[in-house]
Chain A
Amino acid sequence: MRTLRRLLANWLPAYAFLYIAFLYLPVLLLPIFSINTAASPRFPLSGYTLKWYADLPKTPALIDATENSLIVGVAAAILATILGICAARAVTRYRFPGQRAVSGLIMAPLVLPEVIVAIALLIVLLQLGLSLSLFTVVLGHVLICVPYSVSVLISGFEGFDRSLEEASADLGETALGTFRRVTLPMVMPAIISSLLVSFTISLDEFIMAFFLTGTEATLPIYIWGQLRFAAKLPGVLALGTLLLFGSFILLTFAEILRRRAERRTRMTGAALA
């Protein structure tokens, strides 16, 4: 028993290090090879250059894909967040029959195989007679963004002291005024956080976009298409690096806002102590 414990004590840190290295090292290779002068990703690097980045804006197909991704991302983020606000408010404020089942079902897309959902959605949309377009991609993205949006918003809404809204009414404010002056400012950080998270997810999403888009490619689909040409690889790496940093910054910002919202709403209850 004791030897086992000693073994664990010695090896656990090493294991943790290996695990994290396996997880993140390949991702780190992306920016490294993206500034390599040679087209093939191989060590040692033959030289440093930023020309792959400089070439990016000169590719019309890439510009189109970026535009498509932005349109889809913004639309999906707004729709998912609106639906998320309704769901999160219902879950945190009201008690109703089937509440657990409903909140479980809202979260289900997190664990459902995305390929299956995408194919199912494709069949339904085609049966409905809708032609595939960016709009159908938005629908698919809303579906997978809502669970994230709901969980971010719930942590912002939870613990929101009902008496704050009552206090506002008591001080003469109307229902609409109360929403504008108390409810909205209190939950705004959570809403922005939800928008950022949803946008980031939509931006990186491949499977839904692959099945549901028509002729208009989003960024991940453009990248996938480029991988067939070895000469295009450095450009893809550069683009991937930009996406990586963009997502990282957006998600960090979203998390900061989410925590702030949580702190704020918890405050009224916690300060009683």
Chain B
Amino acid sequence: MIEIADVTRSYGAFKALDNASLTIREGEFFSLLGPSGCGKTTLLRMIAGFDQPTTGTISIDGQPMDGIPANRRPTNMVFQSYAIFPHLNVEKNVAYGLKRLRLDPKEERRRVDEALAQVSLTGLGRRGGHELSGGQRQRVALARALVMRPKVLLLDEPLSALDKKLREQMQVELRSLQQAVGITFVLVTHDQYEALGMSDRIAVMFGGKIAQIAKPKEIYQRPVNRQVADFLGGMNFVKAEIVEENGASITVETSGFGRVTTDKPQAFVRNGKGATLGIRPERLRVLWEGESSKFEVGGKVVDRHYFGEITHLIVDVPGLEKPLSVSETNDFGADDIPVGAPIRLGYDPDALVAMAD
């Protein structure tokens, strides 16, 4: 659907995007995730036609987009600022792009109403563009783009201006809207929860390069390197040494977790003998008295942080450089474990992931 082939965007010596290649499939909800300045917005703007690659080609639906301006591309965009035309009311904002198509007035009317219904704005058509709340502006921006029936809808940090509650609600709505209309969505975000919660696939980007492209679960559980692992949420990192590596699996030796064999992540690039073994804090489980696990480590609680439904325990394990961070639900009283108490932690070996340094 969207083919990005060896695309580089340079500003003088600085490369905003460095030789990026990726394929976005038809009907997919695809996210570009990364910190600010990673090149995700540059890439989105090049798909939209607001910016041109220095080298490389972007094709949409098999058509190379070289030299085709934004107004002749089968894409529509929801801007970060929403860019609602303040001098037009909601209906006229939504009908803005349709005017050029010179539709029958009845047909135009029908499509505007349909788009407004899709974003639950029925009845607000006469409201002025400058009299809308943040959430309403976002819906108008969505309707204005969807009414054009684009092949691709581009979303530039569409939720970043909303407050937390509205953001979570809009995440759900955006996802079901995408499934209802079946259009390819490309979302740019720096919020890992947004990307994980909405996307079919995610590309994680750092410093103009694509670090990993995978499904949310794989990105979260099988990050290719520490940078990706860290960006997607908390993770315990343990120094490891590669003992054996073959096509599908990798075996490493650590001081705290012993010798571990795990699936090899896609795009694993070995960098000398060193590697890192990672485990997410929620994948470590407190073992209560009488409980045991085939795989466990023992240590001492050195700190405790209460977060309502969960408690973070910081556990010092002999042989490890840094204490482990453990996230445990409070159902069984993890919030009452005293600091200084000895503790045993169980884990599933599948939760361990070997990463390139």
Contact = CB atoms under 8 A, between A and B. Distances in A.
| Most central of A170, A263, A269, A271 by chain B CB within 10 Å | A170
Contacts of B144: 167, 171
Interface string A8-24: 00000000000000000
Interface stretch (A114-122, A172-180, A244-252): A172-180
A163 interface: yes
A164 to B, nearest CB: 5
Contacts of B326: none
Given A172-B71, A271-B137, A167 B100 contact: no
A177 B100 contact: yes
Contacts of B129: 267
Contacts of B69: 169
A185 interface: yes
A263 B75 CA distance: 31
Contacts, number: 82
A272 B134 contact: yes
Interface string A175-197: 00100011001100000000000
Contacts of A174: 71
B134 A169 contact: no
For the side of the interface on B, what is the size category?
20 to 34
A186 B71 contact: no
Given A264-B86, A264-B87, A269-B81, A166 B100 contact: no
A163 B48 contact: no
B71 A182 contact: no
A171 B134 contact: no
Contacts of A268: 81-84, 86
Nearest to A174: B71
A161 interface: yes
Interface string B67-111: 001111001110111111111000000001100110000000000
B70 A166 contact: yes
Contacts of A173: 71, 96-97, 100
A264 B100 contact: no
Contacts of B50: 166, 169-170
Contacts of B72: 172
B112 to A, nearest CB: 13
A181 to B, nearest CB: 8
Contacts of A172: 71-72, 97, 100-101, 148
B161 A264 contact: no
A37 interface: no
A103 interface: no
Contacts of A267: 86, 129-130
Interface residues of A, number: 26
A170 B86 contact: no
B79 A171 contact: no
Contact of B130 (A166, A167, A271): A271
Nearest to B84: A268
Nearest to B132: A271
Interface string B129-162: 1101010010000001100100000000000010
A166 B83 contact: yes
A151 interface: no
A168 interface: yes
Contacts of B75: 170
| Most central of B50, B79, B134, B145 by chain A CB within 10 Å | B79
Contacts of A161: 81, 83
Nearest to B70: A169
B79 A167 contact: yes
Interface of A: 161, 163-164, 166-174, 177, 181-182, 185-186, 263-265, 267-269, 271-273
11 contacts: A164-B83, A164-B85, A166-B70, A169-B50, A170-B76, A171-B100, A172-B72, A173-B96, A263-B130, A268-B83, A271-B137
Give me the 10 closest cross-chain CB pairs, A-B, nearest first. Answer: A171-B97, A167-B83, A163-B83, A267-B130, A169-B70, A267-B86, A163-B79, A169-B71, A272-B161, A170-B77
